[in-house]
Structure 1
Amino acid sequence: MNLVDRAFGASEFSDAEEPGIFTWELATDKVYADSALANLFGLDPEQTLTGLPVIRYLDRIHPDDKPSVAKAISESVITGNPYRCDYRVFDRSGQIVAVAALGRCFRDEDGNPSQYAGIVFPTNDHVQQDELSAHCSAALKIARSSGLQATADALEAILKELAKPMPSDVAQVH
């Protein structure tokens, strides 16, 4: 792929793998993002281009990861230090996508935080677990349609267990 293709929209990434960029205007609490970030976070691309409140993005973060992500972003805004965080988000289909985010808060001439910019990209850390979950979900549908309630109950328990964060899966702030 040539440089022009890369600069003007062609990508070597699939839609699910494409990194997304954003800017957050702190005074208005609006995050402006490209369609790649919209896809990662399961949001409407037209709305992300015209700006959404930051809470709309935070709502798409896995509940177990949300506190550490919010803390890392807050610390970056307060200190001006770069932000780097690994966490999980829910895409449009409700699937969990492991991502890494990098960003930085910029200040106005008076030293007040004003703009925050960054990039979020999928890390594929959960590919095997997601595949296992997908197979278990398919087996659950078959068990239910076949009237195998004990098997369906067991598969539901497995899916609940797979949804729990594993020690290596929890959000890590760097």
Structure 2
Amino acid sequence: MGVDASPKRRDSEIIARALAASNVGTWEWRIADDVVRCDPVAATMLGIPRAATGRGTTYAMFFERIHPQDRPRIAAIVGDLQRHGGLYVAQYRAVIAPDDVRWVLARGRFVMGPDGIVSEARGIVIDVTESSRDGFLDPATFCAIDAPGGGIDRVAELALALFTVAESLAIDDFERLKPLIDALLHEIGRQLVVTAAVPASDSVH
């Protein structure tokens, strides 16, 4: 007896269209193997060639897309996180083309394993260009908040942790859950943009 996969395909297509319209993408970096993977939304806003997204690209290729003036700051933040792990929140310019520069807000976590080595990182990236002013982010619009008591920031932390735990499931089980977790992360990204209302900053926690 055959199995009708069309409902599953329709669900996936609906989720994909919703995510594409949200200007929020997901990313992960397998540091040990130096493989960066982005969903199509993140790949587009970061200027990573679409052909490279399926098999992953390198951190060097991703870094080349960051505006030269922002690279030293991002390199310092990432370098510290590679050593110590922790929460990553940063705003920077992604150079898609010489005449197309996008402001993005990235959020994620660098995960330290039981061996004390940071081997992976994952998170979300949000296109915040429309909220910029005169080419710079409006400091009244975005922030790197880390409210330990709750709120959408805490939800973001738990969602990223859920993604990490789900990866330990059987491959088929994880693949069924992943679109739902991705959708949750995208919605969290939208709410982070909407609710942020204090001065912006880059943070490592």
Displacement of 1:77 after TM fit? 2.0
Question: In structure 1, what is the equivalent of residue 202 of structure 2?
Answer: 173
Is contact 2:24-2:125 (8 Å) kept? Answer: yes
- For 2:73, which of 68, 71, 74 is the aligned residue? 68
Displacement of 1:29 after TM fit? 0.9
Is contact 1:34-1:48 (8 Å) kept? Answer: yes
Is contact 2:29-2:122 (8 Å) kept? Answer: yes
Structure 2 residues without counterparts, runs of 5 or longer: 1-10, 140-199
- For 1:9, which of 16, 31, 34 is the aligned residue? 16
RMSD over aligned Cα atoms: 2.8
- For 1:108, which of 109, 113, 128 is the aligned residue? 113
**Shift in alpha-carbon separation, 1:23–1:166, aligned structure 2, 3 A:** closer
**Shift in alpha-carbon separation, 1:50–1:92, aligned structure 2, 3 A:** farther
**Alpha-carbon distance in 1 for matches of 2:63, 2:201:** 16
Structure 1 residues without counterparts, runs of 5 or longer: 131-164
Which residue identity is paired with 1:110?
D
Q: TM-score, normalised by structure 1?
A: 0.65
Q: What secondary structure sits across from 1:72 in the alignment?
A: helix
**Shift in alpha-carbon separation, 1:42–1:107, aligned structure 2, 3 A:** same
Matches of residues 1-174 of structure 1 in structure 2 within 5 Å?
8-11=15-18, 14=21, 18-92=23-97, 94-124=99-129, 129=134, 172-174=201-203
Higher-Rg structure is 1
Displacement of 1:124 after TM fit? 2.0
Is contact 1:86-1:172 (8 Å) kept? Answer: yes
Displacement of 1:5 after TM fit? 7.1
